[in-house]
Each structure stands twice: as structure tokens, then as C-alpha cells.
Amino acid sequence: MRKPQQHWSVLCRQLASSAAVLSLASLVGLPAVHATTAQAGEKQGSNSVLRDAAAMDERVRTLLDVAVKHVQEKGIIGVNDFNDDPRFTDKELYLFSLSRTGYILSSGGWSASLIGQNVVNLTDEQGRPFFQQMLDQAAIADHGSVEYLWFNPLEGGPAPKITHFRVVDDVLIASGYAPEVSTEAQAKTLLQLAVKEYKHNPELALRKFRNKHSEFRNLDQYVFVLNKAERTLIWNPLSPELNGQPFDSVVDIHNTHFLADIADTATADAIQQTEYWWFSPLTNQVERRKAFYQLVENHVIAVGTFVLPEP
């Protein structure tokens, strides 16, 4: 990801070259007035959470780099060192290895009890066979990631977890963590709830979407609504000046008409997704965002969520 200043310069050039684009404040969602003390606290908290999540993700990838190099140098027998060698742990983070046939070969954490067992049929709290999902990805790429719901002793119950893996010598080397930001799976669940609510009572649903203390809003995810027939943005909590305005002129910082694309590709029978780059008034930073969306009659219900950096 380029530095925010570089993104900002790109945005300024785009604004200067296109009279059809909305005002700068409208485009990036900058607030029209100074933030209150409460808003400033929310902004600082959100910024800190996103930084912590990105830092945790980077720690996992660094640990994987160390593990991959070790196995490349020592051979497949090197995965045995993940069991008890402190070089392959980082505080709460640990490594495990998985054969292509679905057997846990080694682990320095909770999955140590599964060493020697076939886990292809093991599912998470929502019935997802996440080990099998890893193997499916590894069949077509030498790296990947899965998201699942697993018991978190710090939370005292099920919590989202993200695991990244690399394939070395035909073995999957993996490490996972519990993210501090809401995950893509949670975004899809939020969208499903929002769609159900909107189908039941659109007017009441919009009131709930507007309530920042409702179940349809958190630090980095929120519901927004498009009117496909009238080509207007009905509701977006972070850019209220755009509400009721035509969305065909709204672009992200790469000059992509992502709202128009969302409206034009939404279907009623399946959840679609797209990515875009946006300047967040909560964090005062350019963020890579992902939107999950679905068509409900002439309206498109969508959920925006933060995206962690690519490997």
C-alpha cells in the first residue's frame, strides 16, 4: 500500500482533471465540522485498533517467513521443530504443519493434541471445514488464508480467527491469530442480517442502520444502502453529505466508480463483493476497503469492511 500522502496527491490530480467529480469533502467523506471530543476519541480508538490488527498480521507473516526458511534449509524434517523450539513462537503466536492428505504433522499450540490425526472433517463453530478449505487453496496456490470461528480462551467463547499458510516441500506451514478488527465472515453475516431486516421492514431497518449504537455498526464495519432505480445513495454513515445524492459521480481514490459498479452488479440471489480505496474520517487514513452487497428489490444493501494488507 502506498503512503497516504501519495494517495492524496493522486486524488488531488483526479479532482483537478474532472469537473464531474464531487467536491473533495463529499468524495472522501471528510466531516464538514470539527470532531467533538467523543468523535475524536472514537477516531483515535479506531485508528489504534486498525494499527494493532495490521501489526498482528505482520507478526504472523514474519513468523511464517522464519519457518519457511528453516524448512527450505533443513528439509521436511524441520517441521518437527515447530513443536517445542522457541524460535517458532512469538508470544501467543505459534506454527503448525499440515500434510496434503490432511494430517497434522506438528504444532506448537492448541492443535498439538491433533498431531498425527486427520483433520479434513474437523469443522469450526459454524460448521466450516477450515482445514479442508486450506487444502483446497493449496491445490491451486502455494499460499493462502482461511477465516473461521474458534474458541478463544481470552474471550471465553468462540471468536474469529485468521490463519495464513505457505506450501513448502508439499507441506502446509501455517500460523493464525484472532484479529482485533471485524472479519470478512462477520461482514457477510452482518449483511445477511441487514438484508433480512430490510426485507421485513425497510423503514425500520434504515432507522436501525442510522443508529450508531445498533447491531448494524461497529468501528470498522457499517451498512450502506443504494437506490438502484433512482441511482442515489440512500444511506452511508461515514459520508452523510452524500446521502440522497446521485452515486454515479462518486469515485474512490483510483477514480473507480465503485458505487455504480456495486449497483450494476448486485443480484438478489447471491452476495457479491468488490474492493475500493477510501479516505476514512475515523482514522484519517486511506484504507483498502471491501464491500459485500446484495439486491433487495430496487435497493442494494451493502456492508463495508476493513481489509488487511496482502501477503
pLDDT digits (tens, 9 = 90+) for 3-57: 333 332 233 333 333 333 333 233 333 333 333 433 444 444 445 555 666 788 8
CA-closest candidate to residue 189, choices 211, 213, 218: 218
SS3 sequence, 159-192? EEEEEEEEEECCEEEEEEECCCCCCHHHHHHHHH
> Up-side HSE of residue 181: CA atoms within 13 Å toward CB?
27
Identity at 235, one-letter amino acid code:
W
- How far is Cα 8 from Cα 14, in angstroms, rounded to an integer? 10
Residues 43-86: tens digit of each pLDDT: 444 455 556 667 888 899 999 999 999 999 999 999 999 999 99
Q: How many beta carbons lie within 10 A of that of residue 310, not counting itself? A: 7
Decide whether 4-30+183-306 matches 49-177 in CATH topology.
Answer: yes
Domain boundaries, the chain: 4-30+183-306, 49-177
User: Average model confidence (pLDDT) for the chain?
Assistant: 80
Q: In what order do the strands lie in the sheet with 171-177?
A: 104-107, 96-99, 171-177, 157-168, 143-152
- How far is Cα 254 from Cα 256, in angstroms, rounded to an integer? 5
DSSP letter string over 30-63?
Answer: --SSPPPHHHHHHHHHHHHHHHHHHHHHHHHHHH
CA-closest candidate to residue 180, choices 61, 285, 54, 278: 54
Classify burial at 189, counting beta carbons within 10 Å of its beta carbon; exposed 0-12, middle 13-18, buried 19 or more.
middle
18 Cβ neighbours under 8 A, 6+ residues apart: 255
pLDDT, mean of residues 131-148 = 94
pLDDT, mean of residues 99-120 = 95
Higher pLDDT, 97 or 305: 97
User: What is the sign, positive or negative, of the torsion defined by CA atoms of 129, 133, 134, 136?
Assistant: positive
* CA 30 to mean position of chain CA atoms: 22
Per-residue pLDDT, 222: 84
The architecture (CATH level 2) of 4-30+183-306 comes to: 2-Layer Sandwich (3.30)
Secondary structure letter of residue 79 according to DSSP:
G
**Model pTM?**
0.54
CA-closest candidate to residue 205, choices 215, 214, 194: 194
CATH number assigned to the domain covering 49-177: 3.30.450.20
Higher pLDDT, 200 or 149: 200
